Homo-oligomer: A and B are copies of this chain.
Amino acid sequence: MARIWSTELGAYAGQPVELAGWLHRVRRLSQLSFLILRDGQGLAQVVVEDPAQVEQLAQLPAETVVRVRGQAVHVPAAPGGVEVHAPHVEVIALPVGPPPFDLFRPQLKAQLPTILDHAAVALRHPRRRALHLLAAASAAGYRQTLQAHGFVEIFTPKLVGSATEGGANVFAVDYLGRPAYLAQSPQLYKQIMVGVYERVFEIGPVFRAEPHDTPRHLNEFVSLDFEMGFIDDHTTVMAMLTAVLRGMLAAVQEQAEHALRLLDLVLPAVPAVIPQVHFLEAQRMIAEVTGEDLAGEPDLAPAHERWLGEWAQRTYGSDFLFVVGYPMAKRPFYTHPEPERPACSNSFDLLFRGLELVTGGQRLHRYADYLAALAAVGQSPEPLGGYLEAFAHGMPPHGGCALSLERWVARLVGAANIREAALFPRDLNRLSP
């Protein structure tokens, strides 16, 4: 007999079945008992009536790996409408003791650091398992949408020869006796690849040596990056991003439907056109409401982003808001200025429920502009030679953006801490498991 998934049980009513998985729970009632089996996809209810067998199963620790053969029976009151009767239970692997917390409870009863310390067990909890399925489905939707628009997937190196983009927040590596660094983003490589395929994307890890200990930062996260050529300006990128967000949500709805139900989650709607506000106008509104003097401030504070999120919800009924035109002063050297107002940039942030989710914009594309921009920030063009060569040999107007997968998932489920959205988060204090 071939093993079936717990989620397939509904199709087998009236037939003998074989299931396998983990002993999620034994519930002893007076007349009969239930063995709840958890496999890689869901839960199945197994009815045990023989008192001797109940006694035997009750001795097994939770998370015992078992194989169950029995009869699938249609029972309207059972979860999913079908349960297993007259089971034969075989133990495949016996735990050395009880798990550090009860996995059968609706929520894990432990503090986040404890949950993360015991990730190998905690991730088995149905809610945590469901949450991480949202990440897989989102990544799939991101890819599908971009591939449908002619984007090519690329794999660029994470070990780089020079700390090119920021300087301070980069991890140093001993590279066979030479200094190397971990890539903070695939930015420079994806721009080079616009010269090759015009439209490229990458899903991969990026590294930030920021000694912050906040609920919003990770030192390693999964970055979803795309970059495209022959754009009008940053608004072409914003339109593509809007399509991508819609594709990500559609994939989550389709591929993680069961997880959404388990998490009791309703996905946000992406408006046909996501509302946008200029950075200077956003500052003006916030100053007017709060009385703060924001003149000359080159960025928005988290509280300002929250206010804008509420404003977008109130004004447009939208969970999403583009803020465009950030001051050049705070944007990286490759940023393209606004043609009419060169202190501002052809860039954007996308706020999702009042938190920055995506950063993007138009990049410089002329070689001379790069030399000038680097000179302006006092950076030598020399270590960037292999990157600047792309611009020396013809690059079209182009732009792109980057989205953190963990921040997206955390915001989607309303997690208070981004660490909940990483399988094995890396932070100031955490390097294992």
The answer to the question of A394 belonging to the interface, with a C-beta cut-off of 8 Å to chain B, is yes
Residue of B nearest to A205 (CB): B158
Q: Is the CB of B171 within 8 A of A394?
A: no
Task: Please choose the segment from A51-59, A104-112, A420-428 that sits at the chain B interface, where 4 or more of its residues have CB less than 8 A away.
Answer: A420-428
- Is the Cβ of A432 less than 8 Å from the Cβ of B158? no
CB within 8 Å for A150 and B40 given contacts A160-B432, A396-B65: yes
Judging by beta carbons under 8 Å apart, are B40 and A159 in contact? no
For residue A311, CB closer than 8 A to chain B, the reply is no
A397 touches B92 (CB 8 A): yes
In the complex the two chains form, what is the Cα distance from A121 to B391 in whole Å? Answer: 10
A159 B389 Cβ-Cβ under 8 A: no
Question: A139 to nearest B CB, angstroms?
Answer: 6
Which of A195-203, A264-272, A292-300 faces chain B? A195-203
Taken residue by residue from 166 to 177, chain A's Cβ proximity to chain B (1 for < 8 Å, 0 otherwise) reads as: 000001111110
Q: Which of B23, B158, B192, B426 contacts A157 (CB 8 A)?
A: B426
| A176 and B428 alpha carbons, distance in the complex (Å) | 7
Which chain B positions have C-beta within 8 A of A160? 431-432
| B211–A176 touching, CB < 8 Å | yes
Chain B residues with CB below 8 A from A156, complex form: 423-424
How distant is the Cα of A424 from the Cα of B38 in the complex, in angstroms? Answer: 44
C-alpha gap A249/B198 in the complex (Å): 25
What B residues does A39 contact at CB under 8 A?
198
Q: Is A123 an interface residue (CB 8 A)?
A: yes
Which residues of B sit under 8 angstroms from A48, Cβ to Cβ?
A: none
Query: What 4 additional pairs, Cβ within 8 angstroms, besides A41-B198, A175-B219?
Result: A40-B199, A63-B394, A139-B153, A176-B428
A residues apposed to B, CB below 8 Å: 3, 5, 20, 22-23, 39-41, 61, 63-65, 92-97, 99, 117-121, 123-124, 129, 132-133, 135-136, 139-140, 147, 150, 152-162, 171-176, 178, 180, 182, 189, 192-193, 195-199, 204-205, 207, 209, 211, 219-220, 222, 229-230, 365-367, 383, 385-387, 389-390, 392-397, 405, 422-426, 428, 431-433
